[in-house]
Chain A
């Protein structure tokens, strides 16, 4: 059974439709990457999948639970199954990193304080932020904030982890370390990753399958493994993306 199932999803803002009749499935334990050029609706799709963006039509299942049209109790149950890392980190500015990461444990676990602190420190070390526990988000660089946000998203060991542009703004070494971490977590803990990213290196490192969205077609224009799409692109847009070619300027 797929861990995420999307059927004929249509999302937009008012009269402006961003995505139309989008359907796909994400299998358990896979690294699923959503890619596409700027403004094609990647983040909108991600926000729909996590229930932040109301859908105009279509259905979304997280496991066996349908997210679209779920009542509050079911919605809360579904939300606990995934963690989310937002593009800008979205850390709470008044809490230090340890408190930020510990917060979901305080709300959704019965662990004692020592265990919660221990696990939060582990997650911070996992993303390379050991020693920064007491620092406030404002004292960190953008990349460090992002890594702390990943630690917070992972702290409950969710089934699915949604990451919005995790590598953007990171140096290549940190970015590669993050990719390695994603692979280790997927393998050891069976976490499914849904990642929105532009970074080709990350795509090839972590993606077992990708979908590519297109702004003009308002939907998916390619599905497959990164290597297959690179080697046999089904259309020009996919070819341009994987070969990093500039689109021709139309007069």
Chain B
């Protein structure tokens, strides 16, 4: 006889008991007693499971006449035993169960409860991770190519039939992404220009070349930092907003409604946003250039040169090709930011966290693609002398 009844809880009467015996005909007989509820069943759970796993008697009888209270957790213990015995081809009976409990127990199919619930692995194996990541990247790539194709086709349609474009949405997107972003773009670009001027002045001072700080700031802002800073701000501000707006529409089945009405979500939702942002981004980049150069001028006040010297240097170094290459980049960045924002919005899954996840992906992917695109365009422009 095994007894587990000696283990703790409240009173001896309430303590669940387990008495295991063997009948002459080989029947394993289990006598359960005490209170079998959620608070107390834990005392028996592990030991009872171990016992039934190790004892391979063919016929089992569990007697619950001595059980004073039995709740869902107590029934779970009986089902646990039943499932294990039946799974290995044994026979299982419960004695002393009330009709109501018996009916409740009969609701469960012991099949499927026999196997232990696998403990979730703490981490996936490396080949699994690599495989899943590769498949995901490939899927993502295909989706992006499809989206670019759809967007291009939608723009071609827009050029062919300009009246098909929802211009009110275009101007709204332009206002939100463009005009509303002016203060933050100006502030950040101005501060970047200021910091750039200070850092370069430190490097140039030993050579008495501080006057060329103006040239450096101008060149860096026009070709690189103006468009880049603008695009990064837009990725966080407008790309995220596009993903959240369209993502919420996806979750609310508004996108599905568009499809059932025969409308193309890309034409209806993405084209106005992309168009609005792309129209505004060169102006924002110009504004960022100006703010950055003025930021550099603030630093110039600390030097012994007249301010006119700074602007003379700026004008002498600001060649049209520098300005143009920056504007070309800014348009490319704008297309990327808006496209990624809309794509992530349309890819939004179901559930409350899906919109947040899409927004995060839009911002991260937007910034990453901007930097990659900048590197590619910078290299190409260098080699073609643009």
Select the stretch in A123-131, A164-172, A211-219 that faces chain B.
Answer: A123-131
Query: Would you give the 0/1 interface string for A183-201, flagging 1 where the beta carbon is closer than 8 Å to chain B?
Result: 0110111000000000000
Select the stretch in A11-19, A46-54, A111-119, A242-250 that faces chain B.
Answer: A111-119
B42 and A110 contacting across the interface, CB-CB below 8 Å: yes
Q: Is A138 an interface residue (CB 8 A)?
A: yes
- Cβ-closest chain A residue relative to B117: A117
Query: Would you give the 0/1 interface string for B322-357, flagging 1 where the beta carbon is closer than 8 Å to chain A?
Result: 000000000000000000000000000111111000
B38 and A188 contacting across the interface, CB-CB below 8 Å: no
Known interface pairs A93-B353, A157-B73; A121-B42 also in contact (CB < 8 Å): no
Q: Is B141 an interface residue (CB 8 A)?
A: no
B108 and A119 contacting across the interface, CB-CB below 8 Å: no
Give residues 113-137 of B contacting A (CB, 8 Å).
Answer: 113, 116-117, 119
B352 and A157 contacting across the interface, CB-CB below 8 Å: no
B352 and A93 contacting across the interface, CB-CB below 8 Å: yes
Known interface pairs A94-B351, A111-B45; A123-B103 also in contact (CB < 8 Å): no
Known interface pairs A112-B42, A115-B41, A115-B45; A138-B350 also in contact (CB < 8 Å): yes
| Chain B: minimal CB distance from A172 (Å) | 19
A118 and B117 contacting across the interface, CB-CB below 8 Å: yes
Which residue of B38, B98, B117 contacts A114 across the interface (Cβ within 8 Å)?
B117
With a cutoff of 8 Å between Cβ atoms, the chain A residues found around residue B49 in the complex are 114
With a cutoff of 8 Å between Cβ atoms, the chain B residues found around residue A125 in the complex are 107-109
With a cutoff of 8 Å between Cβ atoms, the chain A residues found around residue B119 in the complex are 113
Which residue of A94, A110, A136, A187 contacts B100 across the interface (Cβ within 8 Å)?
A187
Give residues 236-252 of B contacting A (CB, 8 Å).
Answer: none
Which residue of B71, B113, B117, B351 contacts A137 across the interface (Cβ within 8 Å)?
B351
B116 and A114 contacting across the interface, CB-CB below 8 Å: yes
A130 and B112 contacting across the interface, CB-CB below 8 Å: yes
- Cβ-closest chain B residue relative to A133: B117
B45 and A112 contacting across the interface, CB-CB below 8 Å: yes
Chain A interface mostly: helix
Known interface pairs A94-B352, A136-B350, A157-B37; A112-B46 also in contact (CB < 8 Å): yes
A115 and B42 contacting across the interface, CB-CB below 8 Å: yes
Give the number of chain B interface residues (Cβ < 8 Å): 34
B352 and A118 contacting across the interface, CB-CB below 8 Å: no
Assembled-state Cα–Cα distance A138/B73 (Å): 28
Q: Is B104 an interface residue (CB 8 A)?
A: yes
Give residues 71-101 of A contacting B (CB, 8 Å).
Answer: 93-94
| Chain B: minimal CB distance from A79 (Å) | 16
Known interface pairs A112-B45, A115-B45; A122-B72 also in contact (CB < 8 Å): yes
B351 and A111 contacting across the interface, CB-CB below 8 Å: no
Known interface pairs A109-B38, A118-B113; A123-B72 also in contact (CB < 8 Å): yes
Which residue of A121, A126, A155 contacts B107 across the interface (Cβ within 8 Å)?
A126
B42 and A188 contacting across the interface, CB-CB below 8 Å: no
A138 and B351 contacting across the interface, CB-CB below 8 Å: yes
- Cβ-closest chain B residue relative to A121: B113
Give residues 45-103 of B contacting A (CB, 8 Å).
Answer: 45-46, 49, 71-73, 75-76, 79-80, 98, 100-101, 103
Q: Is A139 an interface residue (CB 8 A)?
A: yes
Assembled-state Cα–Cα distance A184/B75 (Å): 13
| Chain A: minimal CB distance from B81 (Å) | 11
| Chain A: minimal CB distance from B108 (Å) | 6
B100 and A184 contacting across the interface, CB-CB below 8 Å: yes
| Chain A: minimal CB distance from B357 (Å) | 10
Q: Is A210 an interface residue (CB 8 A)?
A: no
B72 and A119 contacting across the interface, CB-CB below 8 Å: yes
Assembled-state Cα–Cα distance A188/B79 (Å): 15
Q: Is A156 an interface residue (CB 8 A)?
A: yes
| Chain B: minimal CB distance from A238 (Å) | 32
Which residue of B41, B71, B104, B107 contacts A111 across the interface (Cβ within 8 Å)?
B41
With a cutoff of 8 Å between Cβ atoms, the chain B residues found around residue A137 in the complex are 351
Assembled-state Cα–Cα distance A111/B112 (Å): 21
| Residue from B37, B73, B103, B354 whose CB has the most chain A CB atoms within 10 Å | B73
Q: Is A154 an interface residue (CB 8 A)?
A: yes
With a cutoff of 8 Å between Cβ atoms, the chain B residues found around residue A94 in the complex are 351-353
| Chain B: minimal CB distance from A135 (Å) | 11
A188 and B98 contacting across the interface, CB-CB below 8 Å: yes
A184 and B42 contacting across the interface, CB-CB below 8 Å: no
B104 and A185 contacting across the interface, CB-CB below 8 Å: yes
B107 and A184 contacting across the interface, CB-CB below 8 Å: yes
- Cβ-closest chain B residue relative to A127: B107
- Cβ-closest chain A residue relative to B251: A138
Assembled-state Cα–Cα distance A15/B351 (Å): 37
Assembled-state Cα–Cα distance A123/B71 (Å): 12
Which residue of A114, A118, A188 contacts B104 across the interface (Cβ within 8 Å)?
A188
With a cutoff of 8 Å between Cβ atoms, the chain A residues found around residue B101 in the complex are 188
Assembled-state Cα–Cα distance A155/B73 (Å): 9
Assembled-state Cα–Cα distance A185/B70 (Å): 12
| Residue from B38, B75, B113 whose CB has the most chain A CB atoms within 10 Å | B38
Known interface pairs A184-B104, A188-B103; A156-B113 also in contact (CB < 8 Å): no
Assembled-state Cα–Cα distance A137/B354 (Å): 13
| Chain A: minimal CB distance from B109 (Å) | 7
Query: Would you give the 0/1 interface string for B218-248, flagging 1 where the beta carbon is closer than 8 Å to chain A?
Result: 0000000000000000000000000000000
**Can you report 7 A-B residue pairs in the complex whose CB atoms are below 8 A from each other?**
A114-B45, A121-B113, A136-B350, A138-B350, A138-B351, A187-B100, A188-B103
Q: Give 7 closest A-B pairs by Cβ, nearest first.
A: A138-B350, A188-B100, A93-B352, A138-B351, A187-B100, A157-B71, A117-B117
Q: List 8 other contacts, CB 8 Å, given A111-B38, A117-B117.
A: A118-B79, A118-B113, A121-B113, A122-B75, A123-B72, A139-B350, A184-B100, A188-B103
